[in-house]
Amino acid sequence: MNFFALLKDFLLQFLGLFKNLETLPVECMRLLREFLTKLGELCGITMPQWALDTVSALVLIVAILVTFLVLFALMSVFERKLLARAQNRYGPNRVGPFGLFQPVADGIKMLTKEDLVPRAADKVVHYLAPIVMVAPALMLPVFLPFGRGMVAVDLSVGILAFFALGAGTELAVFMAGWASNNKYSILGAMRAIAQMISYELPLVTSALVVALVAGTLSPTGIAEAQSGYFCGFLPKWFVCTPWGFAACVLFYIGALSESNRCPFDLPEGESEIIAGHLTEYSGFKYAIFFMAEYVGMFAVNGLLVTLFLGGYNAPFPFLEWVPTWCWFFIKLWAVALSMVWVRTTLPRFRIDQMMQFAWKFLLPMSFVTLLAAAAWYYAGQGPKAWMSPAAWSASALIVLLSYLLLGTFCFTRRHSATNRRYLFSE
Amino acid sequence: MSPLLPQTVLDRLHAALPQARVELVNNPSPSGQHALLVHREDAVQVAEFLKNDPELLLDYASDVSGVDYPEYLEAVYHLFSIAKKHGPIVLKTRTGDRGADASVPSLTRVWKSADFQEREAFDLFGIRFEGHPDLRRLLMWEEFEDFPLRKDYVAPNDCEYEPTPHGDIVQKAAAASASPVPQA
Amino acid sequence: MSASSSNFFSGTADAGALEVSLGPHHPSTHGVFRMNVRMEGETVVKLQPVFGYLHRNHEKIAEKNSWLAAMPYTDRLDYICSGTNNWAYAVAVEKLAGIEVPERAEYLRVIVGEMTRLQNHTAFLGFILGDMGAWGSALMYAFREREKILDLFEELTGARMMLNYARFGGVRCDTPAGWLDKARAYLATYPAFLDEMEQFLTGNEILLSRLQGVGVLSAQRAINGGLSGPVLRASGVDYDIRKVDGYSIYPRLKFRVPRGEVGDCFDRFMLRLLEARESLKILQQALDQIPEGPVVNPAVKQRGFKPPAGEAYGRIEGPKGELGFHLVSNGTEKPYRYHVRPPSLINLTLLEEMCLGTKIADVMVILGSIDIVLGEVDR
Amino acid sequence: MHALFQKIAALPWDQLPQWLFLIPGLLMLLAAFAAVCLRNLIHSALCVVLSFICLGVLFMALGAEFVGFVQLLVYVGAVAMLILFAILLTPASEVQASNNPLSNFRLSSALHAAAGAAVSFLVLAGLLAAIAFSPRAANAELPAQPAAAPVALIGENLLTYTLLPLLGIAVLLTAALVGAALIAKEDSKS
Amino acid sequence: MNFPGSGIIKGMAVTALNIVGSYFDRAHAKRLITEQYPEERPKLAEASRSFPFLVFDGDDPEKGIRCVACKICEKECPPQCIYIVKDTDANGKPIMRPKVFDIDISVCMGCQICVESCPFESIRMDNIYEVSGYDRFAPLVLHKPQLLKSNAYYHGIRPTEAAATDARIEAARLRKEAAAKAAAAKVAAAKAAAAAKAAGEKAAETKPTQPE
């Protein structure tokens, strides 16, 4: 069995996999592992068990890295095109068909740009900051279930692990801000840390709500809890429940601020403090920060999809033929592009308004959704709650009432265009 | 804009402040905006009166500009009244001469709007406004000594001439580049 | 860049204070404008504007050239509203030389002037949103409409922004065939754009919280500080030079002058929207009543123009405020003294007063709400 | 050369994973030591954070993912930020670099070093004694992986068996937060 | 309905309208207005101006040039970017034609005061806008051959204005001819009168010899 025979055999098996699209990725992984182990045996290396496990882990890591870097590349083009379409223009369409090779062009530009380090900067910390930023960001997608049975690391504490690794970004932002020894980056770093800390609480609490109702912290468990349909064709996603919708909106706002995106892009408020903690970065280090932001955004969106939009479940029974992993990526793209849609419209918060919005509105609202979820769960006696109107009305009432109360009194009571009068003189 | 003639303002001034040395300067142009020349010492007192007098209420000093005449420098104030909506009353103060005694009292205490414009007159004409809260050059950089808008100002020959290959500019460029460019 | 800013920095910076020089190379200072800001945390403790980066001694150039040669340079004063700059200079020279302006020329000047005000306020919407961080959308919608007005200018005067259209005693050329109908057709679509912008912006909670209560200015301080234009009227002062001086044919046209009550950034923002609607009314009336006739006073010799000796101060209501020219002539072909009353520079007199105690993000919004253009500030 | 390959192949490759986990342990010790010795305060703070991370990795190596991730979340996420903010807010943070005891070795510092060594030895001894005499140390087999998910077990345990300490800590933390807010308030007013 | 957050939703609706609208705006008028420049050239208005050029009649630039090198435009140009040297014929007598006519378009601001002040309708505004060069000075000075463009080109870019200019020139020519004819007629009349007077005297001399 020389090398080519092995290769031909595996290629045939590979073509055979396309019959069943649903399990295509899982089978591909298995096939790849078998091929590598057989290749090892062919070269006479008998590998101990743990070596086989590391090989399969490496295959998984490569797969995840490739998908998320491709997502990052495509997102940088689609973001600019959607942003352009909202501004009555085309967006990048010169590099490749419909501008699809733009990320290649950006990549080359970033690599060829000179990588400046300010003389007075703290070189070691300045060098480490992008690494500390991108490492956890690339580890985050490991816990997300891309399809039924397709999760890289199936931990029973997946959600907790996700937020544990997410905490690394604050440290990286501080290191970047402090090392650049530049007034703007200090300001940017302070703002970024204040924002991340104050928005982590609503984010974690709204994820907690789902964990309580689903009864488990593992993402696959939560995704399974949302499979199935109630009253015939409506999907049993948590976003369809009143408390689920409120928690989803809170999680969405938290996700926006975690990845420093539009209404919360204070750290690099370019109209105020140039590029915040990224002012002194250029060339490849800036590209790494850029990549970390996007991969972090996709990871948080992935978690949002898993928690609220039913992970890999199909929305309607008659659409079940589409493979589950397709659903995950469709929903992921939908949420990501909606973030771009938000970016086209909203101006930026001011630092104190952002903090006030987090502590006075989002946090109380997330505790209220906790209450509403509990009401929904016990009024409907557990899983049967999907069908019982009492559960629905109870939680809907709690959510709406608190939203109106908190909304009018806490945040927007002073500002409204209507209480302004303009006198006209002839 | 109900016409408020400088003459009526002059009469009220003489009535209220007899010791103020104010006279009417005739303006030959068809615009008919005759000016009130007030002596340096009591300019501030006159300004206070013009602003607070219930009849005049000239509380809006919209424009302040310096003018360079052969023997003296002049600061011209155009005053308006927001409440009574009447027209430009031109108030002029003159400096002693164009050298050491080129100073005039600042009216920023009376009208805050004169702040930047007096600094600009100081920067471009060299009129020192006594009592101005923050008399610095407005437009030129601090080390610049001369006053660009004066008639006798000679532009320095150190700027890099664009050697446009036509006409006399080519010779001027050659001359400029020949002379050593003073190291800034 | 006056060195005095160095003593600003050499002051004993106590531990918390952070001194930053915002500008001259800064994304939202509307040109090369610099502010030395001392901040404790994010709140501004001291602010010192520094001018002069775009100073090219415009007034010395005018004194070296003939009266007519100064006209194209007035385009470069406030390079967004060159239509009103030319008009102001022409009004001042006409007051200096006592020149009559024929009817049709007055109507054409009002039409070009009000269109300039319209596109300036539209561009303002875009810039203020840019200062608040919504980079792009509002700016692009505003510039899409502004482009159509600039195309009308190009058909009338030959240039989109540097019109060089006014002459002493009238305007340079008459409207090409079909221009008035094209203008009427375009202005009919404008209210729809303003409604869309109001739906897009005025209800937005984030925008409200960023603009309301920021940079409040009382009417008395505004008058004493010499503010003019929408910034003055936002503080509740009813003073519009079109109504006060009644120059040109404004007394004939029916329009209203809006004014605010609180005098904060939101009032200035709304003032521009309301004034744009009033300008639309003026334009509709002017385009309907425009008579036939000569476009320039034939008696005036443009080349070698020699006004009689004397002095004059002429002013009009520019989009940014009262734009005035103080001209002194000694009877020769060259002006003896040519002084511009720059509304952008004088509106900045109270910038420090408004910005003390606010956040660094507010400083950008306040500067944006005053709407300055550095060509006019530095001359 | 071939012999070298043979010798390498003969190494006990299958026990490698157990030895691999020496690395985080060593890294943690190194980081802790560096934290003490570095002149730049920020660098030492970052080394402390590195040691927290290595501790988390060790927990995960022992199979207690929950504790490992909580360690990461709490220490790297929050405590590290507290340390860094503390360093930032003290005005003379990097101005007077603490003179490193190792650099100017004098007799008096020798006594300091000796005293320090003695104290650390005592602490280490106490620790080892506690481990040696604890009832479960007689190299009993590690308890089988509990059937229920560890989180549920911890949750139950927390709210039943150790409820009192939990509430005690909660009260303590709130008191600390209120105190901090008061002090901060006074600072800004003065 | 203004519940908290409704303003943001209304704003988002406007952007959504623009996003969707941009795919259905075939006329490129409302929701998608980009002009892909190198491929889609802008349609310039007739009056649009950029830099001046010299007009010549007929087809030979040298002979048909209208400019008489009177240097009025050089004096009137605000930034002084025009440079003219009068031409001299074979034996050094200056003739009414420019030997050198340079315009430094890096200095020229396209204010078209030269067009207004030129009494001989010889300088007009062009609407070329792709005038960049690889050096800051030499390529940006247009010399006479580059500036000279035919009247036909002028009719091409500005039909109405060119027609009006031609009409004015025609009228001026006719007026000159009429004046010349009138002058000639006056001279002829004067000559005729003189001749008549001379003839009269001659007649008078010859007449005495004839019997009355």
Looking at CA atoms only, how far is residue A193 from chain C in angstroms? 14
Give the residue from chain A lying closest to E13, CA to CA.
Answer: A345
Whole-number pLDDT of residue D178 = 92
Contact C196 E49 (CB under 8 A): no
Contact list, E18 vs chain C (CB under 8 Å): 137, 141
Q: For chains B and C, what is the number of CB pairs under 8 angstroms?
A: 136
Give tens-digit pLDDT for E90-129: 888 888 889 889 898 888 999 999 999 999 999 999 988 8
- Model confidence at A55: pLDDT above 50: yes
Instruction: Give the Cα separation of D72 and D53 in Å (integer).
Output: 6
B:E CB pairs within 8 Å: 21
Burial E52-89 (b: 16+ CB within 10 A, else e): bbbbbbeeebeeebbbbbbebbbebbbebbbbbeebee
Which among C51, C59, C226 has CB closest to B61? C226
What is the 3-state secondary structure of chain D?
A: CHHHHHHHHHCCHHHHHHHHCHHHHHHHHHHHHHHHHCCCHHHHHHHHHHHHHHHHHHHHHCCCHHHHHHHHHHHHHHHHHHHHHHHHHCCCCCCCCCCCCCCCCCHHHHHHHHHHHHHHHHHHHHHHHHHHHCHHHCCCCCCCCCCCCHHHHHHHHHHHCCHHHHHHHHHHHHHHHHHHHHHHHHHHHC
Contacts of residue E7 in chain C, CB cutoff 8 Å? Answer: 202-205, 207-208
Confidence grade of residue D145 (pLDDT, cut at 50, 70, 90): low
Give C264's contacts (C-beta < 8 A, 6+ positions apart).
C211, C212, C213, C214, C215, C216, C217, C234
CB distance C246 to B1 below 8 Å? yes
- C295 near E CB under 8 A: no
Cα→Cα distances C215→A417, C351, C367, Å: 17, 9, 9
Give the nearest chain C residue to B90 (CA atoms): C313
Pairing label, strands B89-94, B35-38: parallel
Q: What is the mean pLDDT of residues A12-30?
A: 86
Q: What percent of chain D has pLDDT above 70?
A: 77
- Asked if pLDDT for residue B53 goes beyond 80, the answer is yes
Rg (CA), chain E: 31
* Interface residue C261 vs chain A (CB under 8 A): yes
With 50 as the cut, is the pLDDT of residue A150 above it? yes
What DSSP character marks residue A358? I
- Residues (pLDDT < 50) of chain C are 1-7, 10-13
When comparing pLDDT for A190 and E205, which is higher?
A190
Tokens describing residue D57? 């990795």
- d(CA D23, CA A83) in angstroms, rounded, equals 47
pLDDT recorded at residue E61: 86
Question: If you average pLDDT over residues D5-12, what whole number do you get?
Answer: 75
Plot region of A153 (φ>0 → left; ψ -120 to 50 → alpha; else → beta): beta
CB-based contact E78 C302, cutoff 8 Å = no
Most confidently modeled of A311-320, B58-67, D18-27?
B58-67
Does the pLDDT at position A95 exceed 90? no
> Does residue A169 carry a pLDDT above 50?
yes
Confidence of residue A270 (pLDDT cuts 50, 70, 90): low
Q: Give the C-alpha separation, A344 to A89, whole Å.
A: 13
Judge whether C176 is closer than 8 Å to chain E, CB to CB.
Answer: yes
> Please, what is the angle between helix A242-258 and helix A363-379, to 10°?
150
Pairing of strands C310-318, C337-341: unpaired
**pLDDT of E203:** 67
In chain A, residues 102-121 whose CB comes closer than 8 Å to chain E: none
Rounded to whole angstroms, how far apart are CA atoms C111 and D118? 92
**Long-range CB pairs of C366-369, under 8 A, 24+ apart, other chains included:** C366/C214, C366/C215, C366/C265, C367/C28, C367/C29, C367/C30, C367/C33, C367/C35, C367/C131, C368/C28, C368/C30, C368/C127, C368/C128, C368/C130, C368/C131, C368/C132, C369/C128, C369/C211, C369/C215, C369/C231, C369/C265, C369/C268, C369/C269
Q: What is the pLDDT of residue C276?
A: 95
Average pLDDT over residues E61-68: 88
* pLDDT over threshold 70, residue D95: no
Percent of chain A clearing pLDDT 70 (strictly above)? 96
Q: With the CA atoms of C300, C306, C312 and C318 taken in that order, what torsion angle do they form, in degrees rounded to the nearest 10?
A: 50
- Contact residues on chain C for A266, CB-CB shorter than 8 A: 361
Confidence of residue B47 (pLDDT cuts 50, 70, 90): very high
Q: Which residues of C touch B61 (CB under 8 A)?
A: 226
Query: By CA distance, what is B124's nearest residue in C?
Result: C57
Cβ contact, residue pair E7, C72, below 8 Å: no
Contact by Cβ (8 Å): D38, D51:
no
Please state the rounded mean pLDDT for residues D125-149.
Answer: 67
Closest residue by Cα to residue E28 from A252, A88, D42: A88
Question: Which candidate, C286, C253, C255, C259, places its Cα nearest to that of C272?
Answer: C259
Cα separation, D16 vs E85, whole angstroms: 93
pLDDT in tens, D49-63: 999 999 999 888 887
- Lowest-confidence range among A296-310, C143-157, D79-93, D138-152? D138-152
Look at residue E211 and tell me whether its pLDDT is greater than 50: no
Beta-carbon separation of B166 and E138 below 8 A: no
Classify residue C226 as left (phi > 0), alpha (psi -120 to 50) or beta.
Answer: left
| Chain centroid to CA E201 | 56
CB C47 within 8 A of CB C352: yes
% of chain D beyond a pLDDT of 90: 22
Mark which residues 398-417 of A lie under 8 Å from C by CB: 411-412, 414-417
Q: Tell me if chain E has a CB within 8 Å of the CB of A90.
A: yes
Phi/psi zone of residue D39: left (φ > 0), alpha (ψ -120 to 50 degrees), beta? alpha
Reported ipTM: 0.84
